[in-house]
Chain A
Amino acid sequence: MTEEVARLAPMPGPINQEFYDGLNRHELVLQKCTDCSKFRFWPIEMCPFCNSFNYEWARCSGKGTVHSYTIQHATMPYPWPVLLVELEEGPRLVSHGLMTPEEVQIGMPVEIDYEKVSDEITLHAFKKAKK
């Protein structure tokens, strides 16, 4: 597993700059409604639970479980786990799984890690949670 995978870098905009700034600091920050206290992902203007425009960027624990996954074979130099991680805070993130394809299981606890893909962009990734 030495071959480099060229990663596509997202293009941040006004609505999600804080999310990417957080990842650059190695922090997972998501929008949290300051009226109903619910987290949401991905970044949008309004709280879909209570329709409030008020929110803060709140730090998440970085812990979650694998809700589902796929192993991407095509276009990758080696089988590449893609996880759908359900965070402790509720939202689900599509992320890169830092484990072998054989190790991936639905329900497995995972924790966040970070992968720098360009000078401007760091992406989240998830590895097996420490016991």
Chain B
Amino acid sequence: MDTLKDKSCIVGIGETEYSKNSGRSEMRLALEAIKTACEDAGISPKEIDGIVRFSVDSNQVDEIARNLGLENLRFFPEVYFGGGAGCGTVQMAAMAVALGKAKYVVCFRALNERSGFRYGQMAMAMPMMGHFQYSIPFGLMAPGSMVAVMAVRHMHLYGTKTTDFGEVAVATRKHANKNPKAMMHGRSLTLEDHANARMIAYPLRLFDYCQESDGACAMIVTSPDRAKHLKQKPVYIMAAEQGTGSWMEMMTSYQRKDISDLEEYTRLAPHLWKEAGIEPKDIDCAQIYDAFTPLVVMQLESFGFCKRGEGGPFVRNGALEIGGELPTNTSGGCLSEAYIHGMNQVVEGVRQLRGTSFVQVPKCKHVLVTSGSGIPTSALILRSA
């Protein structure tokens, strides 16, 4: 059967610095990340013939192409649903490369999320139209509050504890403390700090929330044949999937039977494992989208690292740290490195497989990367060459 497995690879990665105020335009950030990714790969930006953007990104493809001086851009789709798009952009690129629709495809995300539009303050910034009119006016003020409702249900059904969420925050923070690029570098965090922090929306406290960041990430996808002549050891795309669930709505899919199940991942996971031909136990390192800590606990269940309801016990005792059961979010993730809509987690996945992470997992061969939760989403399995 025809699959996408190993028919494309990531050969270049680029990032800007991550900050609360980049002091420059989102276009400038995007171009810096793309240029860096090209340099990393050892190609000229002029060789790019495909660009995949997040639909929510402010940077339009034509303007990027004009800046890069591209004359023959052949592939330029966009992927929807905010942070759910991340791995989906790589999937688009992988398919285009596998089918010969483009040679070098760049995926990117650039945002001034802290100095510009802050998603955490969307209630104040949006007219109450569309489906958010059925939640925000009642006091469900931000994405974290919407996830809190699912987390409370998970706690009710399975006895998941707030300290389990704390374990996620602490593990990612420990990783960030070793990553000089992380926004939370040099800021330690204990379970006690987590438990004593300001309550935002029960059961979520301050450190259950991700960073708000300005910055950009980009990556270059090409074929294994072309990769042979490039600078870096290629990272193969073993599997790439998008997924949705029942009663789909952005952040508040509360009509579905089980709101403690991040159904998007539960449904895409079997396809992902099948395409990659490996199992959860083969994953050496995971980059799990962590806009809010409960999402990590719940995703571990959806992807089959543990049984339904056992995400809480799974994360206890340092399971997500280096040397633990599943080293996760080794650059600090969205919680402690930066919130670049999870694209920084794709970049970190590539670094792990190159062996160049600040928090390197020994002999890292297979990495799972996931994208935004509570929305239509996507995921990747990557492997080293």
Contact = CB atoms under 8 A, between A and B. Distances in A.
Interface in B74-127: 123, 127
Contact of B128 (A8, A70, A101): A8
A72 B129 contact: no
A101 B134 contact: no
Interface in B141-190: 141-142, 145, 148-150, 152-153, 156
A74 interface: yes
A94 B254 contact: yes
Contacts of A84: 149, 254, 259
A11 B128 CA distance: 6
Contacts of A125: 138
A94 to B, nearest CB: 4
A94 B152 CA distance: 14
B200 A73 contact: yes
B16 interface: no
Identify which of A71, A72, A80, A93 gathers the most chain B CB atoms within 10 Å of its CB: A72
Interface string B236-247: 000000000001
A30 B148 CA distance: 26
Contacts of B128: 8-11
A36 interface: no
A91 B255 contact: yes
B131 interface: yes
Interface in A2-36: 7-11, 13
A73 B134 CA distance: 19
A94 B252 contact: yes
Contacts of B196: none
Contact of B199 (A9, A41, A73): A73
B201 interface: yes
A103 B165 CA distance: 24
Interface size class of B (residues with CB under 8 A): 20 to 34
B127 A69 contact: no
B200 A68 contact: no
Contact of A11 (B133, B138, B204, B247): B133
Identify which of A81, A84, A95, A123 gathers the most chain B CB atoms within 10 Å of its CB: A84
B152 A72 contact: no
Given A72-B145, A75-B123, A10 B139 contact: no
B148 A70 contact: yes
Interface of A: 7-11, 13, 40-42, 48, 67-76, 79-82, 84, 91-96, 101, 106, 117, 123, 125
Given A67-B254, A68-B156, 4 more contacts: A10-B133, A94-B134, A94-B138, A123-B138
Interface of B: 123, 127-129, 131, 133-142, 145, 148-150, 152-153, 156, 198-204, 247, 252, 254-255, 259
29 contacts: A9-B128, A9-B137, A10-B128, A10-B134, A10-B137, A13-B129, A42-B131, A70-B140, A70-B152, A71-B199, A73-B198, A73-B199, A73-B200, A73-B202, A74-B198, A74-B201, A76-B141, A80-B139, A82-B138, A82-B140, A84-B149, A84-B254, A91-B255, A92-B255, A94-B140, A94-B149, A94-B252, A101-B202, A123-B137
